[in-house]
Amino acid sequence: MNLQENIHRIKEVMGIIEEQKIQLPITITGTYIANNCDELHAFQSTSGKVIGNMNVIVGKKLEEIYNSGINPKPIEVIVKVNNMTVSWSVTIDKSNDGKAWVGFTSRGAGCNNDVINRANSEIAGNDIETLKAKILNTYGENNIDVEEVNDFIYQNQNNGFRQIFYRYTKPKSFPSLESGKKEISINESSNKGVIDLINEKGLITAVKFLGGYDELINLLGDYKLPKEVYIKAIEEFMNIVGEGLAFSQLNKNPIPFKETSDEYHELGYIGPSGVTIDVFLPNESDPDSGRYGIYKEDYHLPFEKLSYKTIKDIFEMIVKMDPTQWH
């Protein structure tokens, strides 16, 4: 991976750390062409064949919004049918009930075959309780909420259909983000809410969730984050990046590590599990060259061997970078 590819990858990772700027409401759209009356209302699939892929497309956007720190909620579905072409749009907004509506699906009936009754028929397995049971089993959830978003009826002599669109929660996999915010708000005079958030979600997610590292530190007050928390966050960051980072790539000076009468050690490279320390000898022909003397060797140190201050400095360097200044 060359320098520019590495920097591009880091920018992607920093998108996890920085507060996302998703503007809501947002509308997702799609179009598909059907070959028969059954496919005409196959907004996701039919008989094992993907047609509209609507559930997947909307679901990915819902998870993206959730991962940016916002509880999403599909609030409207619009469908237009032109002969055998179906166009749809789903509008997503910030949840107004404190729940994270990260799931989206639909049930229906087509081919102008008693579509009004069959679309939500218990006998046909299209009722909301059957749907809820299937979602619970598919995702291993213990309890979920399912709500209707829109009920669409297409009247046509041969190809008429009715499709009911639903949103649902997955609290085990995607717990409401509002619960963490409320806990922190309740504990304004203490740091318990912030500490619980870090322990549950990790330091990187907590930084994003609270709007930045400085805000997190302010909320922590006098509490000192354990060294292990910083190490875990650095390892998480480095594992996503995929390989090591040299300070020179990030326009940062190496961190002084140790100096003796005849050697200078500096930390100039961060790897997935530790750092590389470069060792320099004095340049006798140019005594003023200081630490940039003659390179001697380097050695690896795991993160656990570094001081608390050094680990904290590394994390703060990572989390406070401005990717827009990288070239």
Backbone phi, psi, residue 29, to 5° = -125, 160
pLDDT of amino acid 184 = 41
Q: What is the pLDDT, as a whole number, of residue 183?
A: 41
Which residue shows structure tokens 């003397």?
Answer: 293
Spatial distance between the Cα atoms of 69 and 196, rounded to a whole number of angstroms: 16
* Burial degree of 237 (CB within 10 A; 0-12, 13-18, 19+): buried
35 and 47 Cβ atoms separated by less than 8 Å: no
Token pair of 250, please? 């990030």
Confidence of residue 321 (pLDDT cuts 50, 70, 90): low
Mean pLDDT is lowest, of 109-113, 287-291, 311-315, for: 287-291
Output the average pLDDT for the chain. Answer: 84
Question: How far is CA 120 from each of CA 38, 90, 165, rounded to the nearest angstrom?
Answer: 16, 21, 11
Q: Is the pLDDT of residue 233 over 60?
A: yes
- Out of 9-13, 43-47, 182-186, 191-195, which region has the weakest mean confidence (pLDDT)? 182-186
Length of the chain: 327
pTM of the model as a whole: 0.54
Which two three-digit tokens encode residue 63?
A: 């998870």
Q: Give residue 179's pLDDT.
A: 52
Quote the percentage of the chain above a pLDDT of 90: 52
What is the per-residue pLDDT across 116-129, written as a single tens digit (0 to 9) for each?
Answer: 999 999 999 999 99
Which range, 102-106, 187-191, 258-262, has the best average confidence (pLDDT)? Answer: 102-106
Q: How confident is the model at residue 323 (pLDDT cuts 50, 70, 90)?
A: very low
β 26-33/103-109 pair status = unpaired
Is the per-residue pLDDT at 299 higher than 60?
yes
User: What is the reported pLDDT for 18?
Assistant: 46
Closest residue by Cα to residue 165 from 131, 137, 141: 131
Tens of pLDDT, residue by residue over 186-220, are 344 457 778 888 888 888 888 877 778 888 888 88
| pLDDT exceeds 90 at position 89 | yes
Residues 126-141: tens digit of each pLDDT = 999 999 999 999 999 9
Bridge partners, 269 (sequence order):
246, 276
